[in-house]
Structure 1
Amino acid sequence: MRTENIPQELKDVSQWVVWRAERKGNGKIDKIPYNWISGSKASTVNPADWMTFEHAVKGYNKGYDGIGFVLTKDDAFVGIDLDNCIMDGVISDKALRIISDINSYTEISPSGKGIRIFTRAKLNGKGNRTGDYEIYSRERFLTLTGDKVDNSPSSVLERQAEVDAFHKRYIDKAEPVAQNDCGNELEDFEIIGMMSKKAKDLWGGVDFKEYNYPSQSEADLALMCELAFYTNRDPDKMEKLFRLSAYGQRDKNQRQDIIERLITKALGCVKEGPTKESKIVDLTSILTRPDVNKPTKDPDWVIPDISAKGDVTVCIGKQKGGKSWLWLRAACELSKGGKFMGGLANVRPQKVLYLMYDNVGEDRTMARIRKARWEFNPDNLTFVFNENVMKKEINIFLDQKDSYFDSVINSIKPDLLIVDTLGSCHTVNENSNEEMKPIITKFTRLARESNIAVVILHHTRKAKPGEASVSMDMDDSVGATIILRLASCIIGVKKQKTDAGEEVHKVMPLGSWYKDFKTFEYSLTDKEDDNGTYVDMAVNLEATNRVLSTQDIVENAIKEHYGVDDQFQAKDIVGLTGLNKNTVRKHLDALVSDFKLKRTGHTRDKIYQVPNPVKDIFLECLN
């Protein structure tokens, strides 16, 4: 525990307890508050059980598991818990965004898997917990470790607006009460797909005179009536789809009172619409007999062998490992066409939309492009920065109903969409296949139905000791397996050092429905000329393979440290390589199968030995 990091504002208040981790009746471990002086359990509503910070630390030193601070209605403190947001020592993008937004004292929880934020505010709204997110202001004790998150404030700061926004976005998620017999389970694209020609024309913005409407207002109402029918009178879907339409972009229709008036009138005109069950499907239309002579369409490559229209590409690599450098340059070069990545390919000009969900910001992004001296066509390159989205209080998270994500895509109609990063564009549990499937499916549907290429930047797990030189694999990706399963192409970016000690970033194929592209690498070097300092991002298309498999590492360790007849155990190789024991045992047993090692002993105490071929042949002859 690092008591020196705990804010003085909390230390000055005598609302401290100690705690022990105890197993409850259901077998789960819980943190129980104690008053160590009396030896009894502490109450979160009885000040007599609390103590000063100094007394709490003294109790911790006497053998308790930790210290905690009690929140009360009489103080101005609010505590926020973000559970299960740290994996392999890396804080998730979503948690980093919340930490940055609230910007008050933040520390890592005792388990090392969660985050705790302390701030000053009044807790408004209902509810304290949704999923892995919790927020409290009274009758609750929160543990403290002093394990402060880097770059977070050292003090507990006033953050009323930020706390309100957090509660509204992550805690207060109660769904509105649905109207009886209204709505259907159809997706937006299904509703638009089943519309009549007239409805589609209205949605696309046809001149109202084409259908003999006396005014644009009459055409607006006609479209809303069509939406009332196809959504089966669902007001929320009606509003969302109308706002996505061409008519919905009119200045007049930005007013909420106008929209509500149109919805009310439309609901009075339409009594019933289609439901999921009312869809008639001709099953023969989905049955296909193989015909190898049937002409097929070649992939429409945006970047040959890496990203094609209609497909999703996932690019994985460590946090701050060079992925954004790679794709910012790619976005610039694709916007103007021509030579790509130092001659990797020649590309035609493409319209690129770059969604910068990470809190990098417009200033730092433009500074990077300027410093790297990348040329681009401003007519073909558009950015959406999370900081600007937050200022406008616009929601573009993929998993939320009021998201304007589709509107952003429809307004640009890009050839290539770059999402930087996956973990920042949603608020669900990234480790859950069930919760992540709708997110990834949305990207695959978007790519297929809008005929655009989608590139998603995603993180890998934190490397274990001894793995710095190990080849990257798809399994290094963090989160649910569905993230990669639905991708057409998976590429990796790995930072490593050359034999001369220079740092390079290797870009390699990890899996694809198509042929693998050629591995290449790039380096980032600060240089200076008559125009000032700049970053030279040099691409090497003749990159050599500088990464080893785990089996190579095991074999090299044996060759370097053991000679003929020398004996060793798996734990010895673990100590030399830093690889985990199961991986080492697997490779040692494979070497035994290949007659490169000999093995004796029981399962847990196996002894391995480097064989002596001459001696073995001599003994065989004696027998």
Structure 2
Amino acid sequence: MADSAAPRPPKPQLPPFTGLPDLPALRELQGRSKWVAWEYTWNEKRGVWDKPPLNAKNGGAGSTADAATWAPYHTAAAFASRCGQAGVGYVLSPDDEQSGIDLDKCRNPESGELQAWAQVAVDFGETYTEVSPSGRGLRFFVRGLVESRKVDAAQVEIYTGGRYLTVTGRHVPGTPTEIRAAPRLIAYLQERADHVKAAQAQAFERARDLERNKAEKRGAANDDRSPGPTEKRRREQSSGERSFWDTVKDRALADLRAWVPNLFPTAQRTSDGGYRVSSHDLGRDLEEDLSLHPDGIKDFGVHDMGDPNDGGRTAIDIVQEYLTVRTPAEAAFWLCEQLGLRPEDIGWRRDRQGPSDEPGFKETAAASLRAVPFTWCDASAIPERQWVYGRHYVRKFVSVTVAPGGVGKSSLAIAEALAMTSGQSILGDMPSGAVRVWYWNGEDPMEELQRRVMATALRHSLAREDVEGRLFVNSGRDTEMVLVEQTRAGIVIAVPVVEAIKATIRENRIDVVIIDPFVSSHRVTENDNGAIDRVAKLWARIADETGCAVELVHHARKTNGAEVTMEDGRGAVALLAAARSGRILNVMNPEEAKQAGVEQRRLHFRVDNGKANLAPPPEGTTWFKLASVSLGNGFLGMDGDSVGVVTRWKWPDPLDEVSVSDLRAAQQAVSAGRWRENVQSGTWVGKAIASALKLSLDNPAHKEKVKRLLKIWISTGMFQVVTGFDDQRHERAFVEVGEWAAD
């Protein structure tokens, strides 16, 4: 908290702004009219020299939310130079498909030495990096939109919009001069921010436990000294004249000093006995502050933005919003601890107070818990897991599929649904039988779903009787299925919706439910693992109570070109923990396309186990290909709409179309010369084999085939690697014929 009596520190001094250097990254940014000027301005409330944006067109206040206050680079540069401003800045917005990173207080401005963790970020060398105006921080510009972070304790801020970054042009040597994708840098900084945030939460929990213990001790001491509540309070409790909630709110307003500094360490005390917390300290890009006053609490940052309460808040609202508590009761209990109150003394009744997820209810439920002794049994008599399709769909469990957009996850879900309803192995896996599948798609209209289903049926030669009566399809545009919402009161489960889903499953004897995408079945923050955990476990409970398999199709966050892992699913930690099976879909990468001789690699994707370290090599994994199917719904029976349909695709086997005669020809070619094992050598043995098989090593697919054939033939003894000396008497590895091929 700023001390109003402390002397104001001197204003930071910078050299006069004379423009930015000519670098590719800066030329790219200069091509957009999204520039502002800036100058150091004293912020009385925060007690710091701040950098508010300036409108370079008229010298007025700039705003990252108002494009009318942005200007072309040449206008901003001319204004900053002419008016002696500190510099210029670039406004980030999602339409750029770019992100900005700010690392604070990680650099010695005198020596240029970086803190060790910041040096790691620079050493990735993935994208343009520059030094901040103060010389104490770093700026990165990154290609693509990434998940934002702002954790002051971690010194990491990642933004995609709603902010501007000062631009100095002080390029960090060793980093690119272009703006590029930076997947390793992003992952590293996000992990650092998340780790520090988690550590802060743990520290808070420990502090809260200590405070709770102190409060309990104070309460016990008070019990020893007094007979109980006053007669007035006893009358209020019995007559209902005053509720527990109202009492907590009033006491909190009457004694702000007891709890506000603990919740907001940077809050500034006002002359009229209240507090103000700046939007910057709240981690948001809004102009106005949060005011906490004995007469009431108001968030001026949202009061004119359509807020239903015009910015008005209660102490319980504020605690629930800015502290790691889930329910109003937990927020009220925390306030009681800070105020030195016992909830029971001000009207809390465990048998009557609050909804079923309040602490009182949880304590009642906890009282009924008991440890169940394990009963020894015959292992062979335990029922097998009831797999419905492959080793992914299983009754009474949730399974999860994670993939980025456009790979084919919805097409795969539909194809698998038809495989299960038909009981046929159209994709390679044999279903347990012809089962009943309910496919719910929260994004596409019913007409589009009809196109997809019928295209899949046509491609795989399925008839009406293979599908009708066992496939159920709903569009989220017609039938919403929102199980859970996150409100100011906490996580709210839509019990009628849950019961309707279970009733529908039972009435139609559904065996498999596919929810595509998972995000459309809830309205909670995807990055809140606690909230996602409750949604995922609710689906698991539905699966268990109805005996069906539930598949959740989930979006992955953007990885800036890197392959998707299970951890890239939003809220993935909680979601994967609640699932029996998890898998990921990745489009074929350029190296794999080269090995397989595939030209249109984006039509191919592979399915891997959710554990990245279990992924097999490309030739041993499961591959699919999107094939185009015409519906024939055009004018006069013309092709009409084309729909991508998932088909099974087999990784090319190098032995396909290779006979024993081909092997003998290769052996004869090798035996006629002296050939090296090293593929870089001018006498690589692959040249002899390619010539014998009439393959061209200029064709990447042919070259990969030769390399894989050689590997197989060496392993089977058809060729052998021997050591010898070349013409310069250097020891080298040579390849000779081993066992001659026989019919």
TM range (shorter): 0.3 to 0.5
Using structure 1 for the length normalisation, give the TM-score. 0.47
Q: Which has the larger radius of gyration?
A: 2
Q: Which has the higher contact order (CA 8 A, sep 6+)?
A: 1
